[in-house]
Amino acid sequence: MDLLPPATEPPAGGGGGGGGAPAPGRRLRRGVGFRSLKMVSVSMDEPLPAEPVGVAYGRLANGLAYYVRSNPKPRMRAALSLAVKVGSVVEEEDERGVAHIVEHLAFSATSRYTNHDIVKFLESIGAEFGACQNALTSSDETIYELLVPVDKPGLLSQAISVLAEFSSEVRVSAEDLEKERGAVLEEYRGGRNATGRMQDSHWALLFEGSKYAERLPIGTEKVIRTVPHETVRHFYHKWYHLSNMAVFAVGDFPDTQAVVEMIKEHFGQKAPPSCPPPVIPDFPVPSHVEPRFSCFVESEAAGSAVVVSCKMPADRIKTVKDYRDSLAESMFHCALNQRLFKISRRNDPPYFSCSSAADALVRPVKAYIMTSSCRERGTVEALESMLLEVARVRLHGFSEREISIARALMMSDIESAYLERDQMQSTTLRDEFLQHFLHEDPVVGIEYEAQLQKTLLPHISSAEVVKFAANFSTISSCVIKIVEPHAHASLEDLKAVVLKVNTLEQDNAIPPWDEEQIPEEIVSQSPEPGSILDKVEHPGIGATEMILSNGMRICYKCTDFLDDQVVFTGFAYGGLSELSEDEYTSCSMGSTIAGEIGIFGYRPSVLMDMLAGKRAEVGTKVGAYMRSFSGDCSPSDLETALQLVYQLFTTKVEPREEEVKIVMQMAEEAIYAQERDPYTAFANRAREINYGNSYFFKPIRISDLKKVDPIRACEYFNNCFKDPSAFTVVIVGNIDPSISVPLILQYLGGIPNVGNAVQPLTRDDLKGLPFKFPETIIREVVRSPMVEAQCFVQLGFPVVLKSTTMTEDIHYVGFLSKLLETKIMQVLRFKYGQVYSVNVGVFLGGNKPSRSGDIRGDISVNFSCDPDMSSKLVDFVLEEISFLQNEGPSEEDVLTILEIEQRAHENGLQIQDEGRLKVREALTPQSMQMALQRVVPFPCRKQFTVVILMPKSSCWNSFKALLTWSPGGFSRDAKVVALNESVAGSVKSVFKPWEQRLDTSGGFLESNEGDPELLVFIPFTSDVKIKSISFVGGADGTSPSRMRALVSELYLFCYLTHLFVPLNRMFINREGIDFNDAQNMQPVQEWELAENLQGVLEYQTRYSRFQGVANLTLHFPENFGGDTTKIYYIGLRGEATQNKRDVVATIVYEIMPNPSDHKTKSETGGGFSHVE
């Protein structure tokens, strides 16, 4: 095997501002570096190295594995990790969520650290602690991660000692657990949004029949609330065995062996437990030939979507042949994604976007997943197009051009990785080693991998690529799911699509892919180069400034941060704030409409092929005060990137009816999705309150969309990028001026001057946004219908930076926001255990960015919490801010904030800011106290706003109120009736909270011996909308296999024709219904059921047919072969349509106002009048 070392390159020369200028000619040698990289002679059955290459790897005597590697990026940092090959799938029923709880407790207390001292340590060294930043728990593993500085003696050793504490010294006491329950519950609650519900439902369907379906890492609310600390401690000591763990250290330390010794010092003294390590069981996932289908109706969904998932056993790359197959697989998804993108850009496309990928879902299973977003009522069409395209590939394959493009894209990626092999981030390398430990992924080193790809990619044929399309077959353990905000498609519709496409494929009735012609050159005629009118060197920062003949100002700087990157941005003053209210809506849509048509002179689908194999991207942005373009490219593709900029300025985008129709349709769907989303309604109202109901901050409504003038929108966009003399362009990266300056002159200097300047503004000429923060205290509750109760709080304060102290106060605001975030987090999470995370945000765009006037904006504190605790937590926040204003922070607080800011700055901008340094030097507890009094109102309680998102009612509370309940539970006079129940009245026991669905201590519903049929009649005290039905059935064939829903057809007719007459006057509740009636009645909907023993499956209703339901009859005609049918639980998801409401005693903003909430004082005999 030929494994020549890479060609050596001369070191970078010094340069100002921290970035070295490349030596002359270095760019050319680097380009040759990859092209001259020799191929390797390999046989397909040759094994890849089992042990990782390029890392100190080994095992201690106690079984712990370690991976250590020196790496200079980021500077003076080390990426550490502790991985445990244990996740939620090993949990027992009473442990569901315990693996995740252990992860939380690790940061709470260990044998050496108590009361969240680990968090304080991390913050004291500048390693921020936050949600999802330091640890994660999945089905199969738990990972702890730290990114710590190593520039001070002892920091690295102490950080490794923290990981050692996690491995065996986590303290699990009753007190520790009680303190952390609230944070875990809030994380659980935060995941019960639309996205979480959709993901959980899909996960259960994917892994039905496997333990994975029942072991989501977050666990169950019941376990989180009630699990005893003994159970948590038992889990921790049983599974956290050193032989199941590995520690990782990758960072900017010179002596790898010294770090290995640190690991031995902190971990080596830990003796393995006396008991042998537990065997981690395999949890098989059964395959299935028949596809599974799901029509998931989610009223808060961001839009309609289709997901096609095809499961297969997870593969392991052991040989060169395996690696070649993985490359061919990647080429398949790459080529397929190119097609899917082009389809999405057709006139009247079947979907807005679509993509395909392979994903390792759990340890034994990976899946091919194809996902699309589409218009409402478009899921069936989208599914057909997705399946049809994969079938087309199976029949006709990919064209040679498609294969060449996929190959070029992959070759470009590996070339970039190879060229930047010395600038790879430590976190990237650490994660690569993690995959080796957890999943046995080979680590062969970037040099050998580049050689392998360069050797193998050119010889992978279209036939090799196409064979992977077979994995997308609907008979390959396929799960097809659609998500809709309203029910339109049925399971029968999805099955019909699968049958149709399969039939077309069997009959060879799908035509080949029709390729379109692609232009050869981006710029059809080379422009006349411009000239340099003026040139100034700035040696202090190593930059060169040029004024071109067309007026464009260029500033470039050569750096060596990344060998294969050039970044640039161009900006000009003048943006959306200059527009009148009448013009704003049309012009603000300009970027969206122009982007769909093509801002570089070509449709996006055509440009995609033209740029294949090149690394050149350019994007645009039109903001409040400026318009800009920015890009990223490889040094070898700088010409292509500059050509795109030239095309941006010289292309006149003209709207065409077809493209505009698509944009407007997408915009409509987005607006409807926002109107469904409780958080969007909350955010919109918060902006209205805090920013004075300014048109600039108002959301676009459907009525606004109808007023959009596409011609004016495109005209405005064209004018934004028309005049080169208004723009300043900054170019930074690995550039050789002898090559790049002529390209700049040709493509940027060649942009024609328009004569009359367009928007010739300086920042002092700009028009400020209409902005006014309320002068009084405002507390407002936004009540929104929610599927599950969520609560979000935003506490806002006005910020005014006076022009005389603005330069310093801008930096003070940054320090203060971090101080507030840290201190409020300590109070709300670590002291009271009521939140998962806290965010403090700053907005300073209320005034134009002038050198003279004041700057206005706001600072906001944001968190989610238990709805019942929201007001109390607001008081805690105000108390903490008041304390900081009156007493000031401690010296320790200031040192922590300084450390966090310094660590963030070190690996950010490399040019020192005098204002920042001045503030840092002056930062003391007293100066921060004075700044907090100066920047925000003092005292803080005299001017602020509080906006709280609250649920109108939770799903369970709505249904609990709608059924006939007594304070102690289900009353014995309730009218729920079951026919053929073996124990009279036992049906009442199956209606209970979801968390108690497996608890049969109160009884369960069972049919008579030898007769499996059951009929359940459910009356409601008010009309309801039913979104889904779930149940838990018995084992051993006693679970029902079919369910039929019966609703009065007369009532449905009256509902659909808006004839709202009380049901009990027009249709008598049929309590006397018998099985003959049930069998003869036409069901509103019928479901084929799975053996749902855990209740994780939900059966979605045809939502439009389950509106205004006053009673529901569920008919279970048969089971899976048992002598009796057993039902332990029946759950209904939905909401009331005629709730009786009390007078509202606070200002309430509602998405859908309830008239009964809007009573005046005279109507109610007292109380608060509602503000209209």
- What's the CA gap between 796 and 773, in Å, rounded? 9
Q: Which residues pair with 362 in a beta bridge?
A: 365
Burial of 905 (0-12, 13-18, 19+ CB in 10 A): middle
Q: Tell which residue, 718, 803, 801, has the closest CA to residue 754.
A: 718
Q: 944 vs 590, 693, 793, 937, 1171, CA distance in Å? A: 36, 16, 13, 8, 20
- What's the CA gap between 449 and 432, in Å, rounded? 13
Catalytic status, residue 103: yes
With the C-alpha atoms ordered 962, 967, 968, 972, is the resulting torsion angle positive or negative? negative
3-class DSSP state of 746: helix
- Any residues with CB less than 8 A from the CB of 656 and at least 6 apart, and which? 597
- Any residues with CB less than 8 A from the CB of 1052 and at least 6 apart, and which? 1084, 1105
Count of Cβ atoms closer than 10 Å to residue 670 Cβ: 16
Angle at 81 (CA atoms; ends 75, 85), nearest 5 degrees: 155
Q: Tell which residue, 1167, 1166, 1142, 1146, has the closest CA to residue 1156.
A: 1142
Burial of 989 (0-12, 13-18, 19+ CB in 10 A): buried
Active-site annotation holder among 180, 187, 298, 1135: 180
- Any residues with CB less than 8 A from the CB of 667 and at least 6 apart, and which? 589, 592, 700, 705
Catalytic status, residue 492: no
Count of Cβ atoms closer than 10 Å to residue 377 Cβ: 12
Q: 615 vs 33, 210, 317, 635, 639, CA distance in Å? A: 17, 43, 28, 9, 11
Core vs surface per residue 709-724: b (16+ CB within 10 A) or e: ebebbbbbbbbbbbbb
Angle at 417 (CA atoms; ends 416, 421), nearest 5 degrees: 120
Angle at 974 (CA atoms; ends 972, 980), nearest 5 degrees: 90
Find out whether 219 and 181 touch, Cβ atoms under 8 Å. Answer: no
- What's the CA gap between 861 and 84, in Å, rounded? 35
* Amino acid letter, residue 145: E
Copy the structure tokens of residue 201.
């439902």
- What's the CA gap between 966 and 565, in Å, rounded? 69
DSSP code at position 1074: -
Q: 779 vs 115, 405, 792, 1148, 1149, CA distance in Å? A: 34, 57, 14, 10, 11
- What's the CA gap between 1063 and 1077, in Å, rounded? 20
The stretches of 397-475 forming alpha helices (DSSP H) are: 400-419, 426-439, 446-456, 462-466
* Amino acid letter, residue 332: F
HEC profile for 607-662?
HHHHCCCCCEEEEEEECCCEEEEEEEECHHHHHHHHHHHHHHHHCCCCCCHHHHHH
Active-site annotation holder among 91, 103, 123, 186: 103
Cα dihedral: 327, 329, 334, 338 (round 10): 140
Owner of token pair 């407790």? 105
- What's the CA gap between 1170 and 908, in Å, rounded? 50
Copy the structure tokens of residue 43.
């046989």
Find out whether 139 and 217 touch, Cβ atoms under 8 Å. Answer: yes
Active site residues: 103, 180
